[in-house]
Amino acid sequence: MARVQALRCRECGTEYQLQPTHVCEMCFGPLDVVYDYSEVARGLRERIESGPSSMWRYRDLLPIPDGAPLVTLDEGFTPLVRAERLGAELGLRNLYLKNDTMNPTNSFKDRVVSVAVSWARAHGFETMGCASTGNLAHSVAAYSARAGLEAYVFMPADIENAKVVSTSVYEPNVIAVRGNYDEVNRLCSQLAEEFPWAFCNINVRPFYAEGSKTLTFETAEQLGWRLPDEIVIPIGSGCQFVRHRRAASELIELGLVPDGRLPALTGAQALGCAPVYNAWRDGTDRVQPVRPDTIAKSIAIGNPSDGPYVVRIARETGGVVEAVTEEEIVEAIRLLARTEGIFTETAGGVALGVLLKLARAGRWQGDEVVVTYLTGHGLKTADALNGSAGGRRVEIDPTLKSFREVVSV
């Protein structure tokens, strides 16, 4: 039996052959990859531990055909940092940060893109595409260059300049769309019908999405093969949130973690774009689209495709969905930098802001193992801190006298 078997509708269970498609023809539900793990279960932990120092140590649990060459820049296996100083401020003695700012293009998107581009190349595609809030475009451009594939990346025209420059350097076709992400996404869905391209987050989404699981696999491995009590995850489309649930249950089912309990999965949004939080607050899983207005542009998705599943999974696992103001995002970014020496982008600030808010509201006793996913690097959104980066700056003449006049040590 093949390890990677089919695509299956999350809603009605209809199965489809492995092909570039992402919605069920019967009910429009999303499609997920189905595996038969029976043949990889034996010796799995040893194979993982002796595998490469990248997310590809989990290749057995990813949807790339055995033997197909990978398109990789050694993404993943990023540090799991024990945050003692930040934890002390919050009364958390076992606080960890998964530092995914350390990926090749400095965001967690490299995990999903490495899978998508590997899958596309193995299936004969010559052109990659994506609808992006910035980080995905950056990653798709880099991995397409690495693979020698053409790339068309679509993003809202008002995206941060740093993201445009760091994407353009790989010379993809950058299409700046006068519209918001949801409009870009709709356009790309139409293009995916017209052109024989692999759009990472559209027609090859079921394969692409699987790459997110590695973040949770690694977290468990780095904790000594155990799952944390709670994980705080930023929500854009909700795609990765859903995969973290799946990753945790795969670890349990495959016997890689001893006591089979799912972690509480908690979602984080910016109040300036909080459709999932609004649904959670209103006690429904019907997510009403909103018009995004926030500095957390990489998660500014007003109509999140996996939103309803996020609400259900948060409820099922004992997590919550919480949202923070723009000021709380900036405060969290600064507190992290000051206490742990890590600079995260606004999406990481959203996750941390939610961690701070929940900790201060007394959600935890203090000994729980809590992990926050820092999904992107601060240099990507440095402009968000303009005028509020903190620290002390003085200007002096190049003389001892001038220094003594201005600085009292």
Residues 139 and 107 sit within 8 Å (Cβ to Cβ): yes
Which part of the chain contacts ligand PLP (CB under 6 A), choosing from 187-195, 236-244, 279-287, 332-340?
Answer: 236-244
Residues 347 and 299 sit within 8 Å (Cβ to Cβ): yes
* 135 part of the interface to ligand PLP, by CB under 6 A: yes
* 222 part of the interface to ligand PLP, by CB under 6 A: no
* 211 part of the interface to ligand PLP, by CB under 6 A: no
Residue 11 interaction partner, one of ligand PLP, Zn ion, none, beta carbon < 5-8 Å per kind: Zn ion
Residues 237 and 306 sit within 8 Å (Cβ to Cβ): yes
- Rounded to 5°, the CA angle 268-270-274 comes to 85
* 294 part of the interface to ligand PLP, by CB under 6 A: no
Q: How far is the CB of 404 from ligand PLP (least distance, A)?
A: 44
Compute φ and ψ for 406, nearest 5 degrees. -95, -35
* 406 part of the interface to Zn ion, by CB under 5 A: no
Q: How far is the CB of 260 from ligand PLP (least distance, A)?
A: 25
Pick out residues in 10-29 that bind Zn ion (CB under 5 A).
11-12, 14, 24, 26-27, 29
Residue 107 interaction partner, one of Zn ion, ligand PLP, none, beta carbon < 5-8 Å per kind: ligand PLP
Which part of the chain contacts ligand PLP (CB under 6 A), choosing from 17-25, 38-46, 162-170, 228-236?
Answer: 228-236
Residues 113 and 140 sit within 8 Å (Cβ to Cβ): yes
Which of 4, 9, 83, 355 is the binder for Zn ion (CB under 5 A)? 9
* 153 part of the interface to ligand PLP, by CB under 6 A: no
Q: How far is the CB of 287 from ligand PLP (least distance, A)?
A: 13
* 292 part of the interface to ligand PLP, by CB under 6 A: no
For ligand PLP, give the closer residue by CB, 94 or 353: 353
Own/partner pairs, 188-194, CB within 8 angstroms, 24+ separation: 188/129, 188/130, 188/131, 188/154, 191/129, 192/129
- Residue 83, SS3 per DSSP: coil
* 236 part of the interface to ligand PLP, by CB under 6 A: yes
Q: How far is the CB of 108 from ligand PLP (least distance, A)?
A: 6
* 31 part of the interface to Zn ion, by CB under 5 A: no
User: d(Cα 221, Cα 367) in Å, to the nearest integer?
Assistant: 20
- Tally of residues, the chain: 409
Residues 160 and 381 sit within 8 Å (Cβ to Cβ): yes
Residues 96 and 42 sit within 8 Å (Cβ to Cβ): no
The secondary element (H helix, E strand) that includes residue 316 is helix 307-317
The secondary element (H helix, E strand) that includes residue 214 is helix 213-222
For Zn ion, give the closer residue by CB, 26 or 406: 26
Which of 234, 302, 319, 353 is the binder for ligand PLP (CB under 6 A)? 234
User: d(Cα 297, Cα 57) in Å, to the nearest integer?
Assistant: 31
User: d(Cα 349, Cα 362) in Å, to the nearest integer?
Assistant: 20
Residue 358 gets the label, from left (phi > 0), alpha (psi -120 to 50) or beta, of alpha
* 109 part of the interface to ligand PLP, by CB under 6 A: yes
For ligand PLP, give the closer residue by CB, 48 or 295: 295
Compute φ and ψ for 269, nearest 5 degrees. -135, 160
- Residue 278, SS3 per DSSP: helix
Residue 132 interaction partner, one of Zn ion, ligand PLP, none, beta carbon < 5-8 Å per kind: none
> Contact residues for Zn ion (CB under 5 A)?
9, 11-12, 14, 24, 26-27, 29
> Contact residues for ligand PLP (CB under 6 A)?
107-109, 135, 234-241, 298-299, 345, 347, 375-376
